[in-house]
A and B are shown apart, each in its own frame.
Chain A
Amino acid sequence: MSKKISVKVCLGTTCFVMGSANLQELIEIVPAKYGEKVEVSGVPCLGLCSIDWEFSKAPYVKVDEDIIKEATVEKVLSAIDNKLKEC
């Protein structure tokens, strides 16, 4: 088992209003499901919404270096599953 997968849920204002408010549950779900293998946290603005004014693609979540646009709980969990398969 290599290093932990890191999941960063953007809780900047744009992401929060556009939907990451509802992604906060990941912070409880992920450790319960994956234990030590995945590290999850809510983080301040990742700056992704201001590139080309892409606020409409918020909320953003980063799984390691991969950016998930219009993130949902389901999208994030499946991205983690894919990462774990690669390991």
Chain B
Amino acid sequence: MAINTPKQTSHLKREILVRLIRSFLSENFEESTRLIPYDMRPKGSEVPYRCCIYKERAILRDRAVAGLGFSIEETDDSTLLSELAHKALDRKEPEENPLTVLTTACKGCVPARIYVTDLCQGCVARPCVNTCKFGAISVKNGKSVIDPEKCKNCGMCAQVCPYQAITKIIVPCESACPVGAITKGDDGHAKIDFSKCISCGKCVSACPFGAVHEKSQIIDVLKAIKSGKKVIAMLAPAIMGQLPCTPKQLREAILKLGFSDVYEVAQGADVTTKNESKEFVERLENGAEFMTTSCCAGYNELIAKHLPEIKPFVSDTKTPMYYTAEIVKKDHPDAVTVFFSPCVAKRREALQNPNVDYVLNYEEVGAWFIALNIQVDSCGESDFKTEASAEGRNYAVTGGVAKAVQTLLPEEIPAHPVIIDGLNKQSIRDLKRYAKNGVCDIGNLIEVMACQGGCLGGNATVNSYKAATKQLGAYVNESKSIKDTENDTVQK
């Protein structure tokens, strides 16, 4: 699938968020929230997607539950949205697992398997029968038939059929998950095993029914602002390619939402770059064959849950979010910090970092602008207090981190970057092999990004990948190189 293909499911998710924000800002949050499904599908309205209006409303209700920050799995169907809205206001901190599956919205797809279609000609060559290593295919009544007991779903028969008559039926969420964490449960609906889930968000993007949601923290952030606390925004580099305005206008637009100050996480990325390039030199001098980067939260979850053997080769340098949050808390110890993220994985990282209080994704930020009717391109411009480097701002693009680290390496220790552009079953096997052999045969600096295209391909991005790359690229090009910036804020 191409990165960031347009989807009606995104439209629905964003509409729910806008309505929730509007409800929060209205005179009666609880009642307005309860009415969201009815406002979206009033009596007699069209039923665009599902069997009937009641099913549509039930699903919209569940989408609102996720928008309020709760698990569908743990919420009773009989609980009213108004009660949940009330509960959301009382919540002290976000729930642990950042994803939730809407059983109502889940299609209960047919199980993944190999299927012989009517196009089968019952040919004489029978490459399918001959290729199958498991003896699962025979020809009956002039057509190939697969014995499900013997079939291992390898797909070899589908590859060799001269008529392309054999197809592999996939379950999109299962097929997208690189670690086998989401599978069809006994009832046929998708279920996430959180002991395996690395929060990469691929299932969120892959499900054509929009059945996997991030549990939003938007209400928590709105509440913090309303209570008059000093709330500070930390913008991950990817956001600079996301909205139709300049970075300086975006800063102003975010101040209009009620934030007290806005920092670029690229500032923290500069600290990461400096530390990581030093570390690379040290490791190679001490005889290491390779090092991998450590800034992608999805990759860090992968290491912890599935790939502990690579740990000795992973950089100990902290993420740009870590350093940025440290700087912000030092400047403003009393502030509530909110990380603006392109993906769900950063929610997990934030839970483990006491300096990061909340995470908002770009869909939520966009919805907030809509709810307040803020035209970002009509906002004024203001400068970020600390100017980040071109390299730090380019972290969001695949290859950007390795390139940044390379910029600061001494000539005698050159890096040969290897770019893992998206985690999938194959790239995870590659990483396992490098760890086992203690050497990577094609390079010594491995950049790992869980998402294809880097952070700009994150599950919660708004802009199309191509346009985002262009927009962010222009910002990077007008920025100074890290070699020329003097604001040395390194603290380790």
Which residues of chain A have a CB within 8 Å of any CB of chain B?
11-14, 16-19, 21-22, 24-25, 44-45, 49-50, 55-56, 70, 72-73
**A-B CB proximity, top 8 nearest:** A17-B366, A22-B6, A21-B463, A14-B370, A16-B244, A13-B376, A11-B244, A24-B467
A14-B369, A17-B367 known; 16 other A-B pairs, CB under 8 Å? A12-B244, A13-B370, A13-B377, A16-B244, A16-B366, A17-B14, A17-B369, A17-B462, A19-B10, A21-B463, A21-B467, A22-B464, A24-B464, A24-B467, A72-B6, A73-B6
A13→B11 contact, CB < 8 A = no
A18→B464 contact, CB < 8 A = no
- In the complex, whether B373 has a CB less than 8 A from a CB of chain A is yes
Nearest residue in B to A23 (C-beta to C-beta)? B6
Closest chain-A Cβ to B152's Cβ sits at a distance in Å of: 39
Secondary structure class of chain B's binding surface, majority of residues: helix
B 107-145 binary contact with A (CB < 8 Å = 1; else 0): 000000000000000000000000000000000000000
B369→A13 contact, CB < 8 A = yes
Which residues of chain B have a CB within 8 Å of any CB of chain A?
4-6, 10-11, 14-15, 18, 40, 243-245, 363, 366-367, 369-370, 373-378, 462-464, 466-467
Closest chain-A Cβ to B342's Cβ sits at a distance in Å of: 14
B370→A17 contact, CB < 8 A = yes
**B376: which A residues are within 8 A, CB to CB?**
13
**A16: which B residues are within 8 A, CB to CB?**
243-244, 366, 462-463
User: Which of B14, B40, B378 has the largest number of chain A CB atoms within 10 A?
Assistant: B14
* A–B Cβ pairs within 8 angstroms, 13 of them: A12-B375, A13-B369, A14-B370, A16-B462, A17-B367, A18-B11, A19-B6, A22-B4, A22-B5, A25-B466, A45-B375, A49-B370, A56-B40
**A44: which B residues are within 8 A, CB to CB?**
375, 377-378
**B370: which A residues are within 8 A, CB to CB?**
13-14, 17-18, 49, 55
- The CA-CA distance from A72 to B7 in the complex, in Å, is 10
User: Which of A12, A17, A44 has the largest number of chain B CB atoms within 10 A?
Assistant: A17
Closest chain-A Cβ to B375's Cβ sits at a distance in Å of: 5
- The CA-CA distance from A11 to B464 in the complex, in Å, is 13
- The CA-CA distance from A39 to B366 in the complex, in Å, is 29
User: Which of B6, B366, B377 has the largest number of chain A CB atoms within 10 A?
Assistant: B6
A16-B462, A18-B370 given; A55·B467 CB < 8 A: no
**B363: which A residues are within 8 A, CB to CB?**
17
B14→A18 contact, CB < 8 A = yes
**B10: which A residues are within 8 A, CB to CB?**
19
- The CA-CA distance from A18 to B4 in the complex, in Å, is 13
B467→A13 contact, CB < 8 A = no
User: Which of A13, A56, A73 has the largest number of chain B CB atoms within 10 A?
Assistant: A13
- The CA-CA distance from A49 to B371 in the complex, in Å, is 11
- The CA-CA distance from A55 to B257 in the complex, in Å, is 18
- The CA-CA distance from A10 to B210 in the complex, in Å, is 26
- The CA-CA distance from A45 to B373 in the complex, in Å, is 11
- The CA-CA distance from A50 to B10 in the complex, in Å, is 21
- The CA-CA distance from A67 to B333 in the complex, in Å, is 51
**A22: which B residues are within 8 A, CB to CB?**
4-6, 464
- The CA-CA distance from A53 to B96 in the complex, in Å, is 35
A13→B464 contact, CB < 8 A = no
- The CA-CA distance from A17 to B371 in the complex, in Å, is 11
**B40: which A residues are within 8 A, CB to CB?**
56
**B467: which A residues are within 8 A, CB to CB?**
21, 24
- The CA-CA distance from A22 to B7 in the complex, in Å, is 9
Closest chain-B Cβ to A54's Cβ sits at a distance in Å of: 11
Closest chain-B Cβ to A30's Cβ sits at a distance in Å of: 16
- The CA-CA distance from A21 to B56 in the complex, in Å, is 26
A13→B14 contact, CB < 8 A = no
